[in-house]
Structure 1
Amino acid sequence: MSLPATPTRIQWMLESVWIASIAGALILWVSFGVRQSIGLFLLPVTTETGWDRTTFSIAAALMQLFWGCGQPFVVYLGERKFGFGKVIFASSLLYATSSWIMYGSPASSPGVFIFASALQGLAAGGNSFPIVLASVGRRIPAGSKYKSIVFGLVSSFGSFGQCCFLPMGRAMIGSLGWRWTFMTFGLMMAVMSPLSMFIQSVPPQKQDQDQATAPVDEEKRAAAKLEQEVAEFEKPKVVVNHEDMTLTQTLKFAFSSPTFILITLGFSVCGFHVAFLSTHLPAYLVDHDISSSLAAWVISVIGLGSVFGTISVGYICTRFRPKFVLTAIYLGRVFMLCIFYWVPTSLATVFSFSVIFGFLWLSTVPATTKFVGDMYGQKYLGTLTSITFVGHQIGAFCGAFVGGLVYDSMHNYSHMFYASIALACFASAANLLAPDEHPPQKPSK
């Protein structure tokens, strides 16, 4: 017979990085899986209601926009007011409620559907990468080499959700219809919401004691002190302790840094690609004589490739600087988009693209999170990554909305692929040029 739970045991469960990682991974698995399935609903919804693709794209784009713009406020509530666990729990229930509204949206009133999509986006901010990774990251000591690996593992379950929910959603739409599928997805979000208790807010862990108290003999200590004095004499430099800074100081410091701006701009390109492809790629493939069931599997395979991509990039970031990793990811997207668009469409080319592009799909998340954490500390990592996520979702809004607008006006997606390739080049250059060392100045108070 198991012993009753004691306060010490309960406290250990709440502070355990492993339990928090498992809970966060499961929440991302469901939340990201149901959100990435939005493209499956484009043809069924427009066919039943008679709407054009622009109307559906507005709903999908507003979901992305509200998701991004609401993210900093949601993370602020988690970091400063109510704690991560309560915010995630409430957001999951709000998502379920919005799914019920979508279920009852009348065909004659697209406004109800669009309103429910915006509500879904607002709820999505409460169980997305910034808030989950910030909560998990607080349980890992500062400076630990395992932090980026954990970020990659937890983030990979968002991609795994995409892999699982796309074929599941396609089968459910075929058997239950798109309305009941929306409602079932919302119910799944509500069922997973109690896991939020395991990712409640905890104080950030300090640096590993082994690293902080490593024995150093007197000769090495004296040499290090002399080297530091010489460096300070040659180039006076104020060392910024991010963990002692207030939220206002941190935000001023980040927004005055070109690195933060370039990271955000590059991440917005990632959002453009993800939203455009997840919303319009199934319809694009159907337009090129690929069956709708196979089109769903294409997005699923992208998600499966992304599982390995996010895990691998989490490890790679322990070996290479995040700016170079992100540069390589966006360059890889340039080549894959060029090949996919200009090579004749077939099952072989489509699934080859899915596997390779999937590796680059969400692998930007652990690299971007690591980049921001290295530059601006862990104390307000959730707030800072949520701000970069605003840029991501503004790009996602453009990818989802402009994709439908371009198709309805030109009846093809050619210009969207041209834009995707050009933006990938821009994102690669932005991350390559982003300085990853602070300038010798003290942040304003």
Structure 2
Amino acid sequence: MSAPYARSRFSPELIVLSGCLIALITFGPRASAGLFQIPMTVEFGWGRDVFGLAIAVQNLLWGIGQPFAGAVADRFGAVRVLCVGALLYAAGLVVMAYATTPGMLQIGAGVLIGFGLSGCSFNLVLGAFGKLLPEKWRPMAFGAGTAAGSFGQFLFPPIGNILIETYGWQQALIVFAASVLLVLPLALALAKRKGADETTSEGPVPVPGQSIRQALGEALKHRSFVLLVLGFFTCGFQLAFITAHLPAYLKDAGLSATVGGWTLAVIGLANAFGSLGSGWLTTRMSKRWLLAWIYFGRSLAIAVFILLPPSPMTSILFGISIGLLWLSTVPPTSSLVMLMFGTRYMAMLYGFAFFSHQVGGFLGVWLGGALYEAYGNYTLVWWLSVALGIASGLINLPIKERPVDRTAALQPAE
């Protein structure tokens, strides 16, 4: 039987296209954050820990807000959540552009962008795909949505470099803010048709009237979901650290800012292929083994990169290798959540998993800045990323790829 999906007034092709464009637009500016670290710290005399803390707060609040945004989207639809998120995101970029104190930077780059991302990032798009698309579309749509976000990472850093060099970093942020507002019209294609019902599911037996609290309690008692959530922590740690600190790491090694920007761009381009490939593999192999090999591969790529002398070639090759594994965790992770619990509360439950991802992101960015100021280099954080990747690969192996057991005694909420 097919998994449940709320029928839409739009065609699957338009839903996927609009969702992918939203993912591209919203992922691009936050993936370019590292480009602004050196211009801002030099102009205002801040340490890298100041900038790192703001981006760390952004990652943490993105994660904190994600389950709530997902719960609202599950209950009322994704359109309103996406629009509010986009407005907060754009406002945060504007405040960041005019920030002259660490406090203003925290409000703009940290609080506003963080909560904005929780409402309009690719996570909400994937939740909408799970509800609006037929089952046969979903795995590749998850991969396409993730790949589109990755293409935003390829597209925006070079544009950001050009804007910074031509007009200055403040104006670059204003242009980014204007681009985020394009989410508002695109979100309309992800509207659920009024009165649309849901079909039966091949996953767990649906619980009529199950509340949000019951759904979350069920998930937190499910060992495989807990393991999935714990493993996702490493993904956030590695990605956020590299996004925020790689350009500065390369600059310290004597390479130009252009090399840092193009390395981030190459990561995004390679990730587009990696995410699509992961979406394809998710339907053809064990999801837990796919996740394990992705985490092991990341650890190998990082270890090789930091052991080799930094150069433009090693940077680009690292960008390709880590990019192929960058967000390739998302299709198998989201597919496992849907397999375990169905689609009804998918946005919220995936959002909870993403909270773990963003706690990792907070620590990755914050430790990157704090340990740099303490030791004058990023060596310790690089090796911590390697160790966490190995640990997460092992954590994913015991996951059981089957629906949660819902006995007949399970009663609906009153």
* Both structures adopt the same fold (TM-score exceeding 0.5): yes
* Pairing of 1:322-361 with structure 2 (within 5 A): 322-361=287-326
Q: CA deviation at 1:419?
A: 0.4
CA–CA distance in 2 between the matches of 1:439 and 1:13? 28
* Pairing of 1:125-140 with structure 2 (within 5 A): 125-140=118-133
Amino acid at match of 2:260: A
Aligned to 2:3: none
CA offset digits 1:380-399 (Å, max 9, x no partner)? 11111000010010000001
Amino acid at match of 2:120: N
CA–CA distance in 2 between the matches of 1:304 and 1:200? 29
Matching residue within 81, 84, 103 for 2:78: 84
CA–CA distance in 2 between the matches of 1:332 and 1:310? 14
Matching residue within 23, 26, 43 for 2:21: 26
- Which shifted more, 15-24 or 287-296? 15-24
CA offset digits 1:100-155 (Å, max 9, x no partner)? 2222222xx210111112111101111112211111221223xx343111110121
- Which shifted more, 154-163 or 428-437? 428-437
Q: CA deviation at 1:53?
A: 0.3
Matching residue within 337, 340, 355 for 1:390: 355
CA–CA distance in 2 between the matches of 1:12 and 1:279? 39
Q: 1:307 to 1:205 in 2, by over 3 A?
A: farther
CA–CA distance in 1 between the matches of 2:343 and 2:182? 31
Aligned to 1:168: 159
Matching residue within 72, 89, 92 for 1:95: 89
Secondary structure of 1:433 counterpart:
coil
1:300 equivalent in alignment to 2:265: yes
**Are the aligned partners of 1:167 and 1:300 in contact in 2 as well (CA < 8 Å)?**
yes
Q: CA deviation at 1:194?
A: 1.2
Aligned to 1:7: none
CA offset digits 1:164-196 (Å, max 9, x no partner)? 001011111111111111111111111332111
Q: CA deviation at 1:424?
A: 0.2
Q: 1:410 to 1:313 in 2, by over 3 A?
A: same
CA–CA distance in 1 between the matches of 2:11 and 2:350? 23
Secondary structure of 1:14 counterpart:
coil
**Are the aligned partners of 1:249 and 1:444 in contact in 2 as well (CA < 8 Å)?**
no
Amino acid at match of 1:115: I
CA offset digits 1:239-258 (Å, max 9, x no partner)? 94136461333222211011
Q: 1:79 to 1:260 in 2, by over 3 A?
A: same
Superposed CA RMSD in Å reads 2.0
**Are the aligned partners of 1:204 and 1:379 in contact in 2 as well (CA < 8 Å)?**
no
CA–CA distance in 1 between the matches of 2:85 and 2:75? 17
Secondary structure of 1:146 counterpart:
helix
CA–CA distance in 1 between the matches of 2:405 and 2:143? 31
Q: CA deviation at 1:12?
A: 8.8
* Pairing of 1:251-262 with structure 2 (within 5 A): 251-262=216-227
Amino acid at match of 1:298: T
Aligned to 2:11: 16
CA–CA distance in 1 between the matches of 2:157 and 2:197? 36
Secondary structure of 2:389 counterpart:
helix
Structure 2, unaligned runs of 5 or more: 1-5
Aligned to 2:149: 158
Using the aligned pairs only, state the percent identity. 33
Structure 1, unaligned runs of 5 or more: 1-10, 213-238
**Are the aligned partners of 1:65 and 1:397 in contact in 2 as well (CA < 8 Å)?**
yes
Q: How many aligned residue pairs are there?
A: 401
Q: CA deviation at 1:334?
A: 1.4
Aligned to 2:56: 61
